[in-house]
């Protein structure tokens, strides 16, 4: 079907809330590795990966083979009967996840994982109060949205009670106007102040993404989570790590939180764990998992054999193709090249990231740090014309989000940086 006809049908039948990137609709027909192809056959280098999902690359032949093979035997039976892929995947996750995390529950998405994990935490602690970070993003279901602190995602409410938001560890725009490390990690200390002033002194959990993705690729100081986790434990609460976006190799380790020298009590996963098939999970320690009695939690499609077979194949591919080490190495190269562009360009306030989750914060002026959201929209369009797909992030709408498939190469980095360099020159004409 022609693009114009599809657009007409889209305008008639899809809800208007669908907001496609780009003024001229991009119709993608095919993907392979780190490349996408539109309806005219034009090739794009993908720095977006379907919002940080397709970590092993588009249409990976082995994952496709394993998922299709499973489809020939059994597509769905529900977790009310035993199937092997979900059990085997839970075993693998117990091996891979840090610390004592060893019990998995499977669902369909990141938001559903957050709903389940927060319910489990409430059942375990017998408390409903959460500490969450400003600029967080945890999904669009009620509890997930109640823990999300970005105006653009929040509607009129009402939201779940008991959520207290604290300043995020965002050194570039520190809420306390301090600098790291002389700040003494004031943002972490503020968690204790929040507990002692905004709660009854007991909490269910502190929840955070290891690196805020949608919130603008915010990388906390190394010791942040350890400090906060100790504080929360002192008040009887748990540390709930939302690794939906950073997990499965994106931040240069199996899980983003492994960059921070701390063990979470509960972890949520989604996005990359089945390389594009819808699969979410939450994982806890043995003891915490027992807070849900048999039959207390359920998801019709959760643990679906096809998606779990894809999850198992994803783990195999990440290992066999060394994609996590690649994410670290190529990510370091990407960061270094982009930092050179930061030196050279007046519109680049900061480049930050870990592995292959990288943000470029655009400003109109480096001294005042006035955000430059118009520049972001312009550079996304410019890059698309040149065959490069970038993402956007940040509550101020001014962060280029770079989350390519983890098979990205040094040559891809060079190609992407040349286009970003030229794009920055373009958007700086208006400054």
Ligand X SMILES: Cc1ncc(COP(=O)(O)O)c(C=O)c1O
The site for ligand X (CB under 6 A) is made up of 51, 109-111, 114, 137-139, 209, 213-214, 242, 244-245, 270
Beta-strand relationship, 101-107 and 43-46: unpaired
Residue nearest to ligand X (CB): 110
CA–CA dist 88, 312 (Å, integer):
8
The burial class, CB within 10 Å (0-12 / 13-18 / 19+), for 407 is buried
3 state SS of 261: coil
Question: Tokens standing for 429?
Answer: 């004409």
Q: Looking at beta carbons only, is 267 or 323 nearer to ligand X?
A: 267
Residue 170 in tokens = 């965002």
Q: Shortest Cβ distance from residue 277 to ligand X (Å)? A: 12
In the complex with ligand X, the residue whose CB is nearer, 153 or 172, is 153
As measured in angstroms, the least distance from the Cβ of 287 to ligand X is: 24
Sheet containing 399-402: order of strands: 348-354, 357-362, 399-402, 391-393
Which residue, 242 or 263, has its beta carbon nearer to ligand X? 242
Q: Which is nearer to ligand X, 146 or 214 (CB)?
A: 214
Minimal distance in Å, beta carbon 118 to ligand X?
A: 12
- How far apart CA 341 and CA 428 sit, in angstroms, is 13
Q: How many whole angstroms separate alpha carbon 247 and alpha carbon 264? A: 13
Q: Kindly tell me which of 138 and 392 has the beta carbon lying closer to ligand X.
A: 138
**From CA 389, how far away is CA 405, in angstroms rounded?**
12
CB of 188 to ligand X, least distance (A): 20
Task: Quote the least distance from Cβ 57 to ligand X, whole Å.
Answer: 20
Q: How far apart are CA 289 and CA 300, in angstroms?
A: 20
Q: Are 332 and 309 in contact (CB under 8 A)?
A: no
Strand partners, 240: 207, 266
Joined together, the tokens standing for residue 194 give: 């929040």
Smallest separation (angstroms) from ligand X to the CB of 210: 9
Minimum CB distance to ligand X smaller for 137 or for 235: 137
Nearer to ligand X among residue 90 and residue 133 (C-beta): 133
Tell me the closest approach of the beta carbon of residue 248 to ligand X, in angstroms.
12
């Amino acid at each position: 079907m022609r693009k114009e006809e599809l657009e007409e049908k889209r305008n008639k039948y899809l809800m208007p809330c669908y907001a496609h990137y780009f003024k001229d609709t991009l119709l993608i027909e095919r993907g392979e590795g780190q490349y996408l192809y539109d309806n005219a056959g034009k090739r794009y280098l993908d720095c977006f990966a379907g919002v940080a999902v397709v970590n092993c690359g588009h249409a990976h032949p082995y994952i496709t083979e394993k998922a299709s093979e499973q489809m020939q035997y059994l597509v769905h039976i529900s977790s009310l009967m035993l199937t092997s892929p979900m059990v085997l995947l839970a075993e693998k996750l117990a091996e891979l996840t840090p610390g004592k995390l060893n019990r998995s529950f499977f669902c369909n998405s990141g938001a559903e994982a957050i709903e389940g994990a927060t319910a489990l935490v409430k059942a375990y602690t017998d408390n409903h109060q959460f500490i969450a970070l400003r600029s967080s993003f945890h999904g669009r279901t009620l509890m997930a949205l109640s823990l999300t602190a970005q105006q653009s995602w929040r509607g009129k409410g009402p939201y779940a009670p008991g959520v207290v938001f604290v300043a995020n560890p965002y050194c570039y725009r520190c809420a306390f106007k301090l600098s790291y490390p002389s700040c003494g990690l004031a943002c972490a200390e503020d968690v204790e102040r929040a507990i002692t002033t905004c709660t009854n002194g007991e909490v269910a959990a502190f929840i955070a993404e290891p690196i805020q993705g949608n919130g603008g690729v915010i990388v906390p100081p190394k010791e942040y989570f350890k400090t906060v986790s100790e504080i929360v434990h002192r008040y009887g609460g748990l540390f709930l790590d939302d690794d939906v976006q950073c997990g499965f190799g994106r931040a240069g380790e199996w899980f983003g939180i492994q960059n921070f020298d701390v063990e979470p009590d509960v972890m949520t996963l989604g996005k990359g764990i089945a390389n594009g098939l819808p699969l979410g999970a939450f994982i806890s320690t043995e003891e915490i998992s027992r807070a849900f009695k048999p039959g207390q939690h359920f998801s019709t499609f959760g643990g679906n054999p096809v998606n779990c077979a894809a999850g198992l194949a994803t783990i195999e591919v990440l290992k066999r193709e060394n994609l996590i080490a690649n994410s670290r190495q190529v990510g370091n190269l990407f960061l270094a090249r982009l930092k050179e562009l930061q030196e050279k360009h007046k519109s680049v306030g900061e480049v930050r990231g870990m592995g292959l989750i990288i943000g470029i914060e655009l400003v109109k002026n480096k001294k005042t740090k006035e955000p430059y959201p118009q520049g972001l929209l312009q550079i996304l369009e410019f890059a698309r014309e040149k065959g490069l797909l970038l993402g956007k992030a940040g509550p101020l709408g001014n962060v280029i989000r770079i989350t390519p498939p983890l098979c990205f190469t040094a040559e891809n980095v060079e190609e992407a940086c040349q286009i970003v360099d030229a794009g920055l020159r373009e958007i700086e004409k208006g400054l």
